[in-house]
Structure 1
Amino acid sequence: MKFTQPWGRQRLSFLLEKAASREAKMWKVYVPKKPSSQDTDISPAQRDEAVRWLTELHSRLQLYPETLVLAVSILDRFLAPIKARPKYLRCIAIACFFLAAKTCEEDECVPSLRELAASSSCGCSPSEILRMERIILDKLNWDLHTATALDFLHIFHAMVLSCRSGFLDSMLGLNRSQHLALLTQRLYHCLADHTLIQLRGSMLALALITLELETCCPDWLALTIDLLKRAQINSSELIRSRELVARRLSTLRASLPPNTVYIYQPLQSQTALRHPVEEMEVDDFFDGIKRLYNEDVTTTITVQEGATPATGAITSGGGGGGGSSSPCPPLQPVSAS
C-alpha cells in the first residue's frame, strides 16, 4: 500500500475498513505443527531461516517493502496446510518471492527468473521455480491479494500523523518516511519469528505502532485507545500481542553493541542524523520507503525422495515447466472448464 499523498481521517477509515474486511476473509488461525524426528516436513525454525534468507535477498535487490512482506505472507499461507520436505523450502520461498515481486513491483523492476535464480543461489533452475510457482498458485486458488501487516502499519502510521503531525520532529527528529522505515525494519524482524504467525497482520502492526508511541508520545494511551476503537480490536488481545512483539524486539536491541550511535548522512545533505535506535541499512532502505510519500530525501504435498520439482515429484500438480529462458506465465486465474 503506497501512499502518495496525505490522507484525511475519513479516507483512512475507509482504507482500514477495507483492509480489515479482506483480512477477515483470508485469515486462518495458525496451528503449530507437531515436531517430527523425521525429515518429512518443514519445521518452524527452518521457516524462520527461509524468511531471513528472503530478507537478505530483498535488501540486495532493493525492491519495495511490500514485496518482501507479501512474499512471507504467501509462504506462510502455502506452508500452513501442506507438508513438504525441507530440501524444497528454498524453491518454495523463491517462487513466493517471485510471485510477490510480479504483484508489487513495476514491470521494469521485476528481476528476470534467470537473474533471480542466479543471484539468490537457491539451488533451483528457472523451470523448477516456474513449476513450484504454479503449485503455489493452485493451492492459493490464484488469490495472492491479502491485507498484510505492512498495509495496516501504513494506515495506523498515517492515522497517528493525521492528528499528531508534529511529534516526529519534536520527539524523534525524523520525517515520516524515516520513521516508517524504522518501523518497517522492526516488522521485518518480527516476520522472521514463527511464534508471531499467530497474530493477524492488523494486530502485529498495531502492536508495533503502539509500542513506538509509548516511547515517544506523552499521550500515547489516548492515541492507542483511538486506534483500538477505529480498528475494532479488543484491548486484551492487544496487550497480549504487545508482550509477544516486545519480547521479539528485545532480541533485536540485545544484539547491538552497548552505547551504539548510528549516523545517517543523506546524499544531498551534510546534516547528520544521530538516533540511538537499532541498526538499519538506511541508504538501501530509505530510497524505497520515501517513494511512499513522494519525499525527496495441512493438504499434503508428497515430495518423493530423490526427485525434484521439475520432474513432477510434487504430486499436487502444477503446470508446465518451460525452459530456463522461458518468461513467467501471467498472473491470471485458470478459467473453469
Structure 2
Amino acid sequence: MKFVEPWARQRLSFLLEKSASRESKMWRIYVPKKPSSQDTDISPAQRDEAVRWLTEVHSRLQLYPETLVLAVSILDRFLAPIKARPKYLRCIAIACFFLAAKTCEEDECVPSLKELAASSSCGCSPSEILRMERIILDKLNWDLHTATALDFLHIFHAMVLSCRSGFLNSMLGLNCSQHLTLLTRRLYHCLADHTLMQLRGSMLALALITLELETCCPDWLALTIKLLRKAQIDSSELIWSRELVARSLSTLRASLPPNTVYIYHPLQQDPTLPSCTLGIVEEMEVDEFYDGIKRLYNEDTTTTGQEGAAAAVGAITSGGGGLGVCSVVLSRQEGSSSPCPPLQPVSTT
C-alpha cells in the first residue's frame, strides 16, 4: 500500500498519535528480576527461550505476524509484576498465544485448543490452558489491546514510503511487502532478546527502520530526523536504542550459515537530493557533524556511552536540511578506510 496523497499522510499521523497515546498508558519500565538460586521465578533467559519457542509455533501454524507480536506483549505484561515458576512458563506462553490468536485472527483461522496443545507440544492439557487464560485475563484486567512494536513498524515504514516512494526497488530490488517482511523477521529476533525489553515498542520499531535506512538510503539522516519529529521522540533516546538494537542484530548476522552468499550492491545517489560540492561542504560545520557521528560509530575511543550519544545528538540537531545531510555522508566517506559499503547477505528464499 502506498501513502502518497496528503490525506493519507494525515491518516498516518493520526494513527501514529493514537498508537503513541495508547502505548504511553500501557507501557511500564522493564525492571530486571534479581537472579535466584531457587526455582521460584522465570529468568530472562528462560523468557527468551519461550519467545523463540512461540516463534516456531507461530511459523508452523502460519498465522498473522500481529498474533506473535501481541502474544509476546501479553506474556511480558503478565510476567512483569508476578513471580511464576519456570515449569509453568510454556503453559503461560501458549495461553498468551491463544489469546492473541483470538484477538488478531479470523475466527476460522484460530486453532482449537486441542489442536494448539497437540501441535505446540506445550505439555499441558486444553483445560489447563483455559485456566491459565483466565488467570492472565484477570491479571491484565481483561485489556489486551495495546500498541505493539509491529504497529509502529507498519506506520514508520509507510511514512518512509510516502516520502521516498520507489526507493526500495531502486536500492534493494524489493517491493514494499518484501521489505516489510524482512524488517518483521528482524523484529521477531529482537523480541526474543530480553535486553531490548527496556525499549518501548515505538523506539524499537524506529531503531529498526532507521538502521535499515542507513544501509540503503543516501539521505537516511534527513528521513530519521523527520520521523523523530513525527513521533516526538528525543534524538538521544533513539541513538541509545539504535546501539542496543544493532548489538542484538549482530548476533543474528553471526548465526548465518557459513555458505552464505554476499553480493556487492553499490549505493545510488537519489537524483532528488541536492548535489554536494567540496565548496559547499567547506562552508558547513563539517567537524561538528563528523565528531558526533564518529563517536556514534565508536571511532573515537575516548568517548563512549552517554557522552557519545550526547555528541551525536549535537551532530543530528545542529544545522538541518539537505546540506547538513550531504556533509555527513561525504565526511563519513572521506574518513572510511574502504570506499566500499558493507556487504549484505542475500536471502535465497
TM range (shorter): 0.7 to 0.9
Distance in 2 separating the partners of 1:276 and 1:246: 14
**Residue 336 of structure 2 is aligned to residue 277 of structure 1:** no
| Contact 1:262 1:279 (C-alpha < 8 Å) held by counterparts | no
Change (3 A) 1:278 1:129: farther
- Alignment length (residue pairs): 267
1:271-310 Cα deviation digits (max 9, x unpaired):
xxxx953758x5xxxxxxxxxxxxxxxxxxxxxxxxxxxx
1:4-42 Cα deviation digits (max 9, x unpaired):
664721110000000000000001000000000000000
Q: In the TM superposition, what is the alpha-carbon distance from 1:199 to its structure 2 partner?
A: 0.1
1:99-141 Cα deviation digits (max 9, x unpaired):
0000000000000000000000000000000000000000000
Q: In the TM superposition, what is the alpha-carbon distance from 1:260 to its structure 2 partner?
A: 1.4
Change (3 A) 1:195 1:279: farther
Distance in 1 separating the partners of 2:118 and 2:79: 24
Amino acid at match of 2:93: A
User: Could you tell me which residue of structure 1 aligns to residue 125 of structure 2?
Assistant: 125
Q: In the TM superposition, what is the alpha-carbon distance from 1:258 to its structure 2 partner?
A: 4.5
| Contact 1:262 1:276 (C-alpha < 8 Å) held by counterparts | yes
**Residue 174 of structure 2 is aligned to residue 174 of structure 1:** yes
Distance in 2 separating the partners of 1:16 and 1:210: 17
Distance in 2 separating the partners of 1:174 and 1:60: 25
User: Could you tell me which residue of structure 2 aligns to residue 13 of structure 1?
Assistant: 13
User: Could you tell me which residue of structure 1 aligns to residue 240 of structure 2?
Assistant: 240
Which residues of 2 match residues 113-262 of structure 1 at below 5 A? Answer: 113-258=113-258, 260-261=260-261
Q: In the TM superposition, what is the alpha-carbon distance from 1:257 to its structure 2 partner?
A: 3.0
User: Could you tell me which residue of structure 2 aligns to residue 328 of structure 1?
Assistant: none
**Residue 48 of structure 2 is aligned to residue 48 of structure 1:** yes
Amino acid at match of 2:247: R
Distance in 2 separating the partners of 1:213 and 1:52: 27
TM-score (norm 2): 0.74
- Is there any run of 5+ residues in structure 2 with no aligned partner, and where? 264-342
Amino acid at match of 1:105: E
SS of the residue corresponding to residue 198 of structure 1 reads coil
| Contact 1:41 1:84 (C-alpha < 8 Å) held by counterparts | yes
Normalized per residue, the structure richer in helix is 2
Which residues of 2 match residues 72-151 of structure 1 at below 5 A? Answer: 72-151=72-151
Which residues of 2 match residues 262-273 of structure 1 at below 5 A? Answer: none
User: Could you tell me which residue of structure 1 aligns to residue 294 of structure 2?
Assistant: none
Amino acid at match of 1:87: K
TM-score (norm 1): 0.77
Distance in 2 separating the partners of 1:132 and 1:115: 17
Rg larger for: 2
SS of the residue corresponding to residue 345 of structure 2 reads coil
Amino acid at match of 2:140: L
| Contact 1:207 1:241 (C-alpha < 8 Å) held by counterparts | yes
| Contact 2:64 2:105 (C-alpha < 8 Å) held by counterparts | yes
Q: CA RMSD in A?
A: 1.7
- Is there any run of 5+ residues in structure 1 with no aligned partner, and where? 264-274, 283-337
Higher relative contact order (CA 8 A, sep 6+): 1
Which residues of 2 match residues 288-299 of structure 1 at below 5 A? Answer: none
Change (3 A) 1:239 1:9: same
| Contact 2:2 2:161 (C-alpha < 8 Å) held by counterparts | no
1:246-279 Cα deviation digits (max 9, x unpaired):
000000001113461399xxxxxxxxxxx95375
Distance in 2 separating the partners of 1:203 and 1:251: 20
| Contact 1:149 1:205 (C-alpha < 8 Å) held by counterparts | yes
